[in-house]
Every structure is written in structure tokens, then in C-alpha cells.
Amino acid sequence: MAEQKFAAELRTEFGKGYARRARMNGQIPAVIYGHGAEPIHVALPARSITLAVRAANALLTLDIDGEEHLALVKDIQRDPIKQIIEHMDLLTVIKGEKVTVDVPVHVVGELAPGNVFNQELTVISLEAEATHLPNAIEINIEGRTAGQHIHASDLVLPKGSVLLADADSLVVHISEANESADEEGEASTAAAAE
């Protein structure tokens, strides 16, 4: 994933009143911590940061008074109703450093006719270099048939990534489509139409 650069302002005010004013001014309060350093309290541009953190494991380069800080999004607090970002916790990282992240698993492709799949794991834990974090891991199920399983050990990981999840963890299971359930659904739909 490419780094994204943003200007951040140091903040000295804290509390709900400040946070409310910051959000009204188009900023998100955030804290950068890690590597034994003192936490750095900043305000980030709300619109651009909100777009940047849509991707999993967003890596941000923050310019704070001319000094660059490389940070990984660790936690986002959102308003439960409006879903706007209220606060962020960022973790300082160093180029070349390995970090532990949860990466989304995406299923692609079409199964053989008459089959369905059940995705058991939607994220997988990896260790990867902070500047080369994958957005997602893809599993191709093209043409697979009932009875086939895809385990964590079968995933194709990006170069330099290490699987942290149990290698025997079931990720995707493929089975035959339940035709009797489909027929019952069609019969009930036909009965309702009459």
C-alpha cells in the first residue's frame, strides 16, 4: 500500500469541548504513540483522512511542523449514529519494521455450477513490513467443486508477509447447493403469487 501524506497540527487542548470544536472546523483529534516515545496529540484534516482510512491498514505520513512521522492506523472511534470519525489512535512505525495486521480476505471467481461457498474467515492475521502492507488477500475459487476446502496455509501471501493465524484454519468451504431448499423457496413464491 502506498504512503499517503497529510499535514497535521500539534494540539495542546484536550477534552470533549475541544474535540467538538475541532470536528466543527473539519479536523479529527488523534494521538500518535509507540516506540517508547511520548504520545503526540495532533489534529488531522477530516475529509482527506476519512477517505484515506477506508482502505484496511492505512499507512500515513504526517507532516508535523516540518517533521515527518510514519504512522499506522490502530483504532478509529466513530459516532454510533452518524458514523463520522471522532478520534483516531495512530502507531508510529519505522520503514523496514515488521508489524502485525489483520488483512481482509476477498473471494473472487465463479464456482462450478450447483455449488456454493461459505467463507469462515473474513480477515487473516499477518506480519508484514510496515511500508508494504497488503490491502487484501484474494482467494480464487474459479471452477472449484463441492467438498473442497481452502485453509490459511493455502493462501498466497504477498512477498515478505508471514502468516500468524493457525495454518489449519478453514477459510472457505465449498459444498453442493441445497436444491430441496431452493425448490421449497420456489414453491412458496409460486403459492404466494397465486
Q: What is the dihedral of CA 29, 3, 65, 88, to 10 degrees?
A: 10
pLDDT of 24 strictly over 80: no
- In the sheet with 162-163, reading across from the earlier edge strand, the strands are 137-140, 98-108, 123-129, 162-163
**pLDDT value for 151:** 92
Q: How far apart are CA 150 and CA 168, in angstroms?
A: 9
Task: Tell me the three cell numbers of residue 22.
Answer: 475541532
Structural domains in the chain plus CATH codes: 4-93 (2.40.240.10), 100-181 (2.170.120.20)
Tell me: the pLDDT tens digits for 117-157? 999 999 999 998 888 888 889 999 888 888 889 999 998 88
**pLDDT value for 66:** 81
pLDDT band per the 50, 70, 90 thresholds, residue 188:
very low
Q: What is the mean pLDDT of the chain?
A: 81
Kindly report the pTM of this predicted structure: 0.69
Q: How far apart are CA 168 and CA 166, in angstroms?
A: 5
Q: What is the dihedral of CA 152, 155, 160, 166, to 10 degrees?
A: 0
Q: How far apart are CA 181 and CA 106, in angstroms?
A: 27
Backbone angles phi, psi at 4, to 5 degrees: -120, 130
pLDDT band per the 50, 70, 90 thresholds, residue 105:
very high
